[in-house]
Structure 1
Amino acid sequence: MTTNPTPTNWLPLVVLCCAQFLASADNVTLSIATQALMNDLHATLGQVSTANTMYPLIAGTFMVAGGMLGCIWGWRMLFRIGCLIFILAEACAFFSPSIALFTWGARLTAGIGGSLMIPAVFGLISALYQQRRRVAAFGALGASSGISFACGPIVCGYLLDHVGWRIAFASLGLLALLILLCSVIIPASENKRAAIAFDTPGFLLGTLGLFLTIFGILRIPVWGLVMPFDPAVSVLGLSPAPFVILCGLMVLVMMLRWERYFEATTGHALLPAVFLKTRLVRHGLYLTGWIFFAYSSAIFTVVSFAQIVKSVSAMETGLLILPFAICLAACSLGLPLFIQQRNPRRQCQMGLTAGIAGALVAAAALHVTGFTPVLMASGLCLIGAGMGTIAANAPILVTTGAGNRHAEQSGGVQAASRDIGQALGMALISTVMLTVLTFLMKYQVQHDPAMGLAARQAIGHLTFIPWTSDRTFHQLIQTQNLAPGDLSGLLQHYQQSRMLSARYGLLAMAIVTSLLLIRLRHLPKSS
């Protein structure tokens, strides 16, 4: 494949950025379609949350394998197959009659398509562009995500409000078809590793291990962290989630042992040792995962709160996160273009610090009946700027640390870290919000002398309190035949607890980011 493109040979990058735009827009559309899916498919917030996590779960599971398949089949072929599967996924979303088919059909298929398409994007950029061109190309890739966060919510929000969520997903399918047709612009791979045998045992072990680990984490909000929410779903009287996670980690340990043997025998591996042993690669992967961890945790919290508490429309949701998207795109593309002397340590520290500050400001913007627009916009701007700054640095850290031999294959593990980060962000926020809501609601009701005994017992007997709208909660407690005064008091406690749970969700994101900031204090000062 061409490794030193002429100044005019940037057309392939446009196609690749469109593919990244597609993947990001798909997730954006789903994030702002929460209320529409709940209404049209009669889904709960938990079911929509599961649909949100299905793409990163499946994509993160298979993307490491996608990195090796690109070396065998050729990156352009892998890219085209991913586009085809993505088209099928959007068609399935359009025709979905239920949330079950939408989740296990459309979102699962989209995850498989993304697990092939996105590693191919990283691999093609690593092969086509070198040195400063590669830095600019990865910056453009991050900016395309920012543009999708900016344009996607407004365009898709308009479609959601006026023609429905089905047309929004169908439009993404047409975009995938256009990208597939334009892939003729991308140079064909030289397929230097065609003789490599695919690491089937490593693939099976890695797929099973990643799936069990991520699936267990994602089920914590449903099953519980230690004690089960539903006694009928338990293992030895405890939540099944930690047992599933432990099984997944054990399988991954077996996979890593096999990979070392396979690499020593053949010279190649699904997960080369350099990806784990090189500090620069590890730090780059942590940062890559944080980008989408921050997006899924912060945006899911803000969007859920805005749509459920303030009943904003899909298009209004898009306008709400527009400042976030603009700052992300500006920092991701602007830093590589305008700052010649790069200092990755300083830039990444500033990016993570901005993310922490943004989460705290956004949390302060929340109140019982809505949020303060100026404060919320400021918080989202800081989060977007932090994500854009990290997006301009993380891929270069990985490809530089991996070296020329493994730079292209690193696309699979980079893409996997993004989707694992997104899944972990969703799981963390869902768990924190549901746990805090349940604890605070029960605590406030039990310690409110104005509450009647029947109201205290009704709330005390609930295993967990659902995170939902005032109307739905009112319908839930109406079935308990409580006094009108107790109904009003319970609703006030619920509104207060719900707001505080969202604040704690954003605080959890800030704490995780602070830990990462401490962990990455040894980043290099120059790239």
Structure 2
Amino acid sequence: MNKKSETQQSKFNWLPLIILMITQIGTTGDNAVLSIATKSIIETFSVTMNEIQLANMMYPMIAGSFMITSGMLGISFGFKNVFRVGAILATIGELTLALTNNITIFIWVGRVLVGFGGSLMIPAVLGLIPEIYKSSKHRAIAFGSIGAASGIATIAPLLLGIIMDQVGYKLTFGIMAAYFFIILLGSYFIPNTDRVQTKLKLDVQGIVMAAVGLFTFLIGLSKISKWGLITPADPPFTIFGISPALPLVVLGIVILIALVFVEKKIEEKNGFALLPQSFIKNRQVRNGLYGSAFIFLIMGAYNVVVIPYVQIMEGFDATKTSLLTMAFGVTLFLFSFFIPKFAQNIKSKTILRLGYLVVALSIVPLLLAIGDGSTNISLFSIGILIMGAGEGLVSSRCNVVVANAVNERDAKQSGGIQATSRNVGQAFGAALIGTILLFSVTMMTNNIVDKKVSELSAETVQVIAEQEQHQYVNDQQYNEFLEANNIMGEDKVKMEEINDIVRVKSTKVALGAIGIISLIFLLGTRGIKE
């Protein structure tokens, strides 16, 4: 009997892992589908990059704000049950995206529902792994496979991109709705796992503080470019005469700091909390969470810099964009999936450091590929391949670093914390790099016009000076802006040339920022012991 049990434990159960991988592919792929639909959404809804940035951020903002809660819900009610509710919400959200003709409903209903769905499913995915796979070897393979699934997710949209080019983005989101419904059916093959025997008191105070703090911080950060840093640009309201963006960022940080102290008291009182102290005090856990955040921070930055650049400046359609993104996904998958199998003797600290360095180095060919008049797509693609490899290296070890550093119960709950770090990272990456990109557009436009003031009419110079901010838009939208402000003739030609220069230079600035951020993450590996 014991021998039979040992034999069963030694066999790796692939079926539930396949369902979990398909789920990771779907949640990550949803963001990839949205990114390749950028051009179609801009044209359909006549929106600017501010709305695209918000649409890209909404899923990770909602998911990141509530995933910590989902970790506790999984412990209390069973991760399989939480997983199923998430699949239902994601299905409804994708249907909303497919059917609506209103950008407000698209962002604030469709993207929010998908975000809530993801906030339940992904912590369940990460929480189920420690329950299903007990040995450290099996866990390493399972976590590496989940990381590899993020790479596959960037490959999967190729077919959807082709469909999008032929019949539009609506059918694509309809297919995503069917995909999540299939995942719901597939949950039947996930084994039932034991719940905690002691009934856990739901930490309502912590849930509210975590959600409000994270959402306030991220929405404030994302709106700096639109509302202004200090001087109001186009905010819905002001706070003591200044833009509300920075005060919202500060308020979010204050709430999150207060959350740490509140959760400490709750854990001392109840023995269990939304945010266990082991995740705060354990340096290795923090370093592993940095890695989780980094992977999706780069993905968020990629969505707001690389994709708009190739679609707006190089005229890429959804299919070409998908092929470029596939290059990113191929190397991410290969390194994330095979490193746990063939580099088991290399320390996790070394792998993570190498990953951060590789991502930073990938920026070099990207910058060299972007010229003033054209882009060397071959060199640009090499940069994307290298970036994916760096992401794969980090993805291969960051999750297992966290799970191995805490006790069994906290390892299960770590799914919510890890998933939160991912989505906060993605939202932060989209917000920070998007803000740098849009600020660069405004500053460079004003600086170049000031230098060329003698070549432009006084009326044109005044129109440009009166703009609180300038947008990163396609040629048609910029022409509409010029015509609406009666900038015609020679002035129009010169402003179009200036706009081309600005878009190229601002893209380079944003890419450079990604490289610097990657190097900064090297500092977050010193606490890893394995």
The aligned residue for residue 484 of structure 1 is 489
- CA distance in structure 2 between the aligned counterparts of 1:413 and 1:370, rounded to whole angstroms: 43
- CA distance in structure 2 between the aligned counterparts of 1:506 and 1:246, rounded to whole angstroms: 26
Gaps of 5+ in 2: none
Amino acid paired to 2:514: M
What is the Cα-based RMSD across aligned positions, in Å? 1.6
The aligned residue for residue 294 of structure 1 is 298
Amino acid paired to 1:181: L
Secondary structure, counterpart of 2:82 in structure 1: helix
- Counterpart check, 1:385 vs 2:396: no
The aligned residue for residue 178 of structure 1 is 182
> Are the counterparts in 2 of residues 328 and 389 from structure 1 also a CA contact under 8 Å?
yes
The aligned residue for residue 103 of structure 2 is 99
Q: 1:359 aligns with which of 359, 363, 385?
A: 363
Moved more, 2-11 or 111-120: 2-11
Amino acid paired to 2:91: I
- CA distance in structure 1 between the aligned counterparts of 2:367 and 2:275, rounded to whole angstroms: 39
Amino acid paired to 1:214: L
Moved more, 44-53 or 250-259: 250-259
Deviations 1:142-176 (A, max 9, x none): 11111110122x11101111122111111111111
Moved more, 50-59 or 315-324: 315-324
Deviations 1:28-55 (A, max 9, x none): 1000001111122332221122111100
Report 1:483-522 matches (<5 A).
484-522=489-527
Secondary structure, counterpart of 2:131 in structure 1: helix
The aligned residue for residue 46 of structure 1 is 50
- CA distance in structure 1 between the aligned counterparts of 2:487 and 2:438, rounded to whole angstroms: 24
- CA distance in structure 2 between the aligned counterparts of 1:151 and 1:370, rounded to whole angstroms: 28
- Counterpart check, 1:415 vs 2:419: yes
Amino acid paired to 1:429: I
- CA distance in structure 1 between the aligned counterparts of 2:524 and 2:279, rounded to whole angstroms: 18
The aligned residue for residue 210 of structure 1 is 214
The aligned residue for residue 433 of structure 2 is 429
> Are the counterparts in 2 of residues 17 and 140 from structure 1 also a CA contact under 8 Å?
yes
- CA distance in structure 2 between the aligned counterparts of 1:87 and 1:114, rounded to whole angstroms: 11
- Counterpart check, 1:127 vs 2:131: yes
- CA distance in structure 1 between the aligned counterparts of 2:255 and 2:344, rounded to whole angstroms: 44
- CA distance in structure 2 between the aligned counterparts of 1:463 and 1:87, rounded to whole angstroms: 40
Residues 98, 440 of structure 1: alpha-carbon distance in 2 compared, 3 angstrom cutoff: same
- CA distance in structure 1 between the aligned counterparts of 2:105 and 2:234, rounded to whole angstroms: 24
Residue 132 of structure 1 and its aligned partner are, at CA, apart by: 1.0
Moved more, 477-486 or 258-267: 477-486
> Are the counterparts in 1 of residues 284 and 527 from structure 2 also a CA contact under 8 Å?
no
Residue 89 of structure 1 and its aligned partner are, at CA, apart by: 0.8
Amino acid paired to 1:451: L
- CA distance in structure 2 between the aligned counterparts of 1:506 and 1:288, rounded to whole angstroms: 20
Moved more, 116-125 or 370-379: 370-379
Deviations 1:339-391 (A, max 9, x none): 23031121111100111011232122223444211211111011100111000
Residues 82, 232 of structure 1: alpha-carbon distance in 2 compared, 3 angstrom cutoff: closer
- CA distance in structure 2 between the aligned counterparts of 1:483 and 1:216, rounded to whole angstroms: 37
The aligned residue for residue 476 of structure 2 is 471
Residues 514, 144 of structure 1: alpha-carbon distance in 2 compared, 3 angstrom cutoff: same
Amino acid paired to 1:485: E
> Are the counterparts in 1 of residues 227 and 235 from structure 2 also a CA contact under 8 Å?
no
The aligned residue for residue 86 of structure 1 is 90
- CA distance in structure 2 between the aligned counterparts of 1:280 and 1:391, rounded to whole angstroms: 15
The aligned residue for residue 461 of structure 1 is 466
- CA distance in structure 1 between the aligned counterparts of 2:100 and 2:235, rounded to whole angstroms: 32
The aligned residue for residue 157 of structure 1 is 161
- CA distance in structure 2 between the aligned counterparts of 1:481 and 1:199, rounded to whole angstroms: 58
Q: 1:145 aligns with which of 137, 146, 150?
A: 150
Count of aligned residue pairs for this structure pair: 523
Secondary structure, counterpart of 2:407 in structure 1: helix
> Are the counterparts in 1 of residues 148 and 332 from structure 2 also a CA contact under 8 Å?
yes
- CA distance in structure 1 between the aligned counterparts of 2:355 and 2:18, rounded to whole angstroms: 26
- CA distance in structure 1 between the aligned counterparts of 2:277 and 2:68, rounded to whole angstroms: 13
> Are the counterparts in 1 of residues 218 and 431 from structure 2 also a CA contact under 8 Å?
no
> Are the counterparts in 2 of residues 221 and 427 from structure 1 also a CA contact under 8 Å?
no
Gaps of 5+ in 1: none
Residue 305 of structure 1 and its aligned partner are, at CA, apart by: 0.6
Amino acid paired to 1:290: F
Amino acid paired to 1:394: C
Residue 286 of structure 1 and its aligned partner are, at CA, apart by: 0.7
- CA distance in structure 2 between the aligned counterparts of 1:131 and 1:334, rounded to whole angstroms: 16
> Are the counterparts in 2 of residues 223 and 233 from structure 1 also a CA contact under 8 Å?
no
- Counterpart check, 1:398 vs 2:402: yes
> Are the counterparts in 2 of residues 324 and 384 from structure 1 also a CA contact under 8 Å?
yes
Please give the TM-score of this superposition, normalised by the length of structure 1.
0.96
> Are the counterparts in 2 of residues 33 and 165 from structure 1 also a CA contact under 8 Å?
yes
The aligned residue for residue 15 of structure 2 is 11
Secondary structure, counterpart of 1:407 in structure 2: helix
Q: 1:118 aligns with which of 122, 139, 143?
A: 122
Secondary structure, counterpart of 1:421 in structure 2: helix
- CA distance in structure 1 between the aligned counterparts of 2:369 and 2:393, rounded to whole angstroms: 24
- CA distance in structure 2 between the aligned counterparts of 1:259 and 1:29, rounded to whole angstroms: 37
Residues 5, 120 of structure 1: alpha-carbon distance in 2 compared, 3 angstrom cutoff: farther
The aligned residue for residue 377 of structure 2 is 373
Residues 492, 277 of structure 1: alpha-carbon distance in 2 compared, 3 angstrom cutoff: same
Residue 8 of structure 1 and its aligned partner are, at CA, apart by: 4.9
Residues 361, 233 of structure 1: alpha-carbon distance in 2 compared, 3 angstrom cutoff: farther
- Counterpart check, 1:314 vs 2:323: no
> Are the counterparts in 2 of residues 309 and 369 from structure 1 also a CA contact under 8 Å?
no
Report 1:169-318 matches (<5 A).
169-230=173-234, 233-318=237-322
> Are the counterparts in 1 of residues 263 and 276 from structure 2 also a CA contact under 8 Å?
yes
Residues 176, 480 of structure 1: alpha-carbon distance in 2 compared, 3 angstrom cutoff: closer
- CA distance in structure 2 between the aligned counterparts of 1:399 and 1:225, rounded to whole angstroms: 39
Residue 232 of structure 1 and its aligned partner are, at CA, apart by: 6.7
The aligned residue for residue 345 of structure 2 is 341
Residues 6, 372 of structure 1: alpha-carbon distance in 2 compared, 3 angstrom cutoff: same
> Are the counterparts in 1 of residues 24 and 149 from structure 2 also a CA contact under 8 Å?
yes
Moved more, 216-225 or 480-489: 480-489
Percent of matched pairs sharing the same residue: 31
Secondary structure, counterpart of 2:455 in structure 1: coil
- CA distance in structure 2 between the aligned counterparts of 1:452 and 1:469, rounded to whole angstroms: 24
- CA distance in structure 2 between the aligned counterparts of 1:482 and 1:229, rounded to whole angstroms: 23
